[in-house]
Amino acid sequence: MRKLFPALAVVAALVLVWLLFPKPKIPSPDTQADAIASAKYSAAVATALTNAPPAAVATIESNFARVTASPTPAPAARVIPDGRPFAPEVTNMEPQIVLEIVSRAIRNYGQRFGGNPVGSNAEITRALGGDNPGSVNFIADTGMRVNDRGELIDAWGTPFFFHQLSGTEMEIHSAGADKILWTADDLVTR
C-alpha cells in the first residue's frame, strides 16, 4: 500500500493540473475555412484594385469589398439630421451581405463599448454613426444604407428591426423581398 501511495499522489497532481489550467482552443474547421476564404477574397480584391481603371470606384466594407467600374462620379454621401455623413447607397450587394455588414457593425460596437447600442432603429443608427462615448463612426465607408428618417435599411429599402436579446446579443431582422416583417422571406441574424 505504501508503494502505491506515491503513484496515486502523482496521478492526483496531474488530474489537478489538468483541471486547473485552461486548455488551448483549437479553431473549428469552419473558422479555418472562413479565414482561408477571407484571405483568398482579400487577395482577389487587392488584385482588382491594382488593375482597376482610373474611373473605378471602390467601396471597402469591414471584411467585404466591392469594385465597380463607373465613368460617373460616386453619389453624394447621405447625412442624418445632425449633419454626420453616412456612406453612399450601395445597391449591388446581396441582401445577406448587407445584413452581415450591419451585424458586424453591431458586434464591433459591442466589443468597443462593452455592450450593444440600444433603442429604436434611428437611435441605434445614431450610436453607430458616432453618437457614442468614443465618437466612433461604425457606419462610414461600410456600404450600409440610411433612409431619410436616419434608419438603417436593408437591400430592399425597408428599415431593419433590432431585437435586443441581452446586453451583448442582438437579433437583426430584414423584412425581405416582400418588405413585410414576420413573413417567411425575412432574413435574420445575430
Same domain for 80 and 149, yes or no, is yes
Question: Alpha helices of the chain — where are they, by DSSP H?
Answer: 4-20, 29-51, 95-113, 121-128
Q: In the structure, what pLDDT confidence band is assigned to residue 74 with cuts at 50, 70 and 90? A: very low
Backbone angles phi, psi at 85, to 5 degrees: -75, 150
Buried b (16+ CB within 10 A) or exposed e, 33-59: eeeeeeeeeeeebeeeeeeeeeeebeb
For cell 413585410, the residue is 180
Number of domains in the chain: 2
Question: Alpha helices of 91-158 — where are they, by DSSP H?
Answer: 95-113, 121-128
Nearest-angstrom CA–CA distance, 151 and 78: 12
Same domain for 112 and 185, yes or no, is yes
Residue 7: inside a domain: no
Which range has the worst mean pLDDT, 53-57, 60-64, 93-97, 119-123? 60-64
Same domain for 165 and 80, yes or no, is yes
| Domain termination residue (choose one: 74, 94, 122) | 74
Which residue segment(s) compose the domain that 44 sits in?
38-74
Same domain for 179 and 86, yes or no, is yes
Backbone angles phi, psi at 3, to 5 degrees: -70, -30
Same domain for 144 and 95, yes or no, is yes
Q: What are the tens digits of pLDDT across the range 144-162?
A: 888 999 999 998 899 999 9
Among 156, 153, 176, smallest CA distance to 86 is for 153
| Domain termination residue (choose one: 20, 53, 74) | 74
Same domain for 59 and 119, yes or no, is no
Residue 3: inside a domain: no
| Domain termination residue (choose one: 74, 90, 118) | 74
Q: What are the tens digits of pLDDT across the range 29-69?
A: 555 566 555 555 555 555 555 555 555 454 444 444 444 44
Residue 122: inside a domain: yes
pLDDT: is 4 or 103 the higher one?
A: 103
pLDDT reported for residue 32: 56
pLDDT reported for residue 82: 47
Nearest-angstrom CA–CA distance, 39 and 33: 10
Among 101, 79, 88, smallest CA distance to 145 is for 88
Residue 61: inside a domain: yes
